[in-house]
Structures are given as C-alpha cells and as structure tokens.
Amino acid sequence: MATKQRYFIHFAFKGTSYHGWQIQPNAVTVQGILNKAMSTVIRENILTTGAGRTDTGVHAKFFVAHFDSNNKGLDNDPGLIYSLNSVLPSDISVYKIFKVRQNANARFDAISRTYEYRISRTNDPFEKEYSWYIYYSLNIEKMNEAAAWLKKVKDFTSFGKYHTNVKTNICRISYSKWSEDGDMLVFTIKGDRFLRNMVRAVVGTMVLIGRGKLDVSEFKNIIEQKVKVSYTVPPQGLFLTKIEYHVNII
C-alpha cells in the first residue's frame, strides 16, 4: 500500500459563527467545515489535525493543520487554493498548502503560539465582532506590571478550566505586554503552550488590576496559591495570530 503524503495547511478564520476549531457532536466547527470542503475538492476523505483548540467565537488570523492525502501533487497549487476558497464560506480562508516530512505534526511540532486580545475604548459598531468594548478607564502601567510578571510564572493552574484532560499546567511565557493603538488596547502574549480559556482568564484578571479592584501583589498570590480565577473576558476580542515551528518540518 502506497504511503500517503503529509501536508501542512495555513489558513485563517473568523470564529463568530463557530463552536471553536475542534469537531463536536451537533455543533458547527471550523474543522468540520474545512474537512468537508477539502474532501470535496481533493476527492478523497480528508481529516485534518489542528495546531490546537480555539473556543467558541475566538478568531484565528493564522492557523495550521496537517492532513494526509493519496495525491502527492497538492504542494503549492494555486488552483487548489482557489478551488478550496470557492467552496469554503467567506469566514474561512486558505492561504497555503505544502509538503512536510511524514511525521510532522501541526500540534506537537509547534514551539510557540501568539495571541492578541483587543479591547476597544470606543463603542464602534464595526469593531464589536473583533473586540470587547469597555467604557471605564484602565491603569495600563499596573496591567503591564502584572503582564511582565507572567514571564516568571510556570504553573498556570489558576487560569485553566476545571475538568480538562491536560497532563500539566506548566506553560512558558516569553512575551506578555499591553500596548495602545489609538482607542484600541491590545494585549499580546506568546508562549510554548496555553491551557483552555487561559488567555481570556489572564486578560480578565488584569482588567481587574487596571480598574483598581485587584492589586498586582494579590495577582501574584492568586497564581502562587493556585486559586482558580472566575473573571473571563468575552471571546470575540481574542485572536490567535502566530504559530511557530521547528525549521525541520519540511
């Protein structure tokens, strides 16, 4: 039996209409839609494996999945990309498909992931699906003090969801910072891995710091004592923006 060719696919999606990336019973997901479209265009049963999960309503400016195919000629085929995007709904766009080594894995070979969370300080109707609007003022300096401290944290139990089947809550954060872009406040965080709901819980807790409802010292104590936080921000402001891989995947 001939060995199938493994491919990586780069794409983006607007998460508003989906119950996240991963296939679930009785729910519309990005993975389900993508598998169906690719199976139709490539004319064989295609099953993708994603770089990770995204929650309901969360967006991805950049996402990666791998799949295997009997067709060994799909590498960088512009006609294939055009056909896929013609079949896919307008809120999912495929950018690139290319050959990788046979054991390359979109999830386990990723060495870092970068997320952004966007807070709008203007009640802009054009941003409501892509940011969280708040009307109160925030102390950005204090929020950045907390953000910088996250790079020293290893155990993120406080920010993970209950009853998830993860072997460890250890994550290594290499970048964590708030920045201002006009009326938009953007939190950028980069790490080797993230727990489910972790970024939204981190942002929610730092917003409490920005509002003066929580001290940075209390924030540190919460993490050190592994106290579960309950304040989570809405999903529409969260974007997965980058995934990096070892250079030897191709």
What does the pLDDT look like over 128-152, one tens digit per residue? 999 999 999 999 999 999 999 999 9
Domain residues of the chain, as ranges? 5-108, 111-243
The CATH code belonging to domain 111-243 is 3.30.70.660
Q: Which helix (H) or strand (E) holds 210?
A: helix 198-210
Active site residue 55: yes
pLDDT, position 186? 98
Q: What percentage of the chain exceeds 70 in pLDDT?
A: 97
Helix extents (H) in 161-197: none
Tokens of 65: 């999945």
CA 164/CA 197 separation, integer angstroms: 11
- Burial string for 168-206 (b: 16+ CB within 10 Å, else e) reads ebebebeebebeeeeebbbbbbbbebbbbbbbbbbbbbb
The arithmetic mean of pLDDT across residues 64-80, rounded, is 95
Q: From residue 249, how far is each of 68, 100, 245 by CA, in Å?
A: 15, 6, 7
Global pTM value: 0.94
pLDDT, position 163? 54
116 with 236: CB under 8 angstroms?
no
Q: What is the pLDDT of residues 206-250, one digit of tens each?
A: 999 999 999 999 999 999 999 999 889 999 999 999 999 987 776
- Burial string for 4-32 (b: 16+ CB within 10 Å, else e) reads ebbbbbbbbbbbeebbbbbbeeeeebbbb
Residue in 55, 75, 91, 155 annotated catalytic: 55
Closest among 180, 202, 181 to 190, alpha carbons compared: 202
CA 115/CA 244 separation, integer angstroms: 12
Topology alike, domains 5-108 and 111-243: yes
CA 208/CA 134 separation, integer angstroms: 12
pLDDT, position 231? 87
pLDDT, position 78? 95
The residue to which tokens 């936080």 are assigned: 229
The angle subtended at Cα 22 by Cα 19 and Cα 226, nearest 5°, is 85
pLDDT, position 246? 84
Question: Which of 3.40.50.720, 3.30.70.580, 2.30.29.30, 3.30.70.360 is the CATH number of 5-108?
Answer: 3.30.70.580
The residue to which tokens 């003066």 are assigned: 212
Tokens of 199: 């970024």
Q: What is the pLDDT of residues 185-205, one digit of tens each?
A: 999 999 999 999 999 999 999
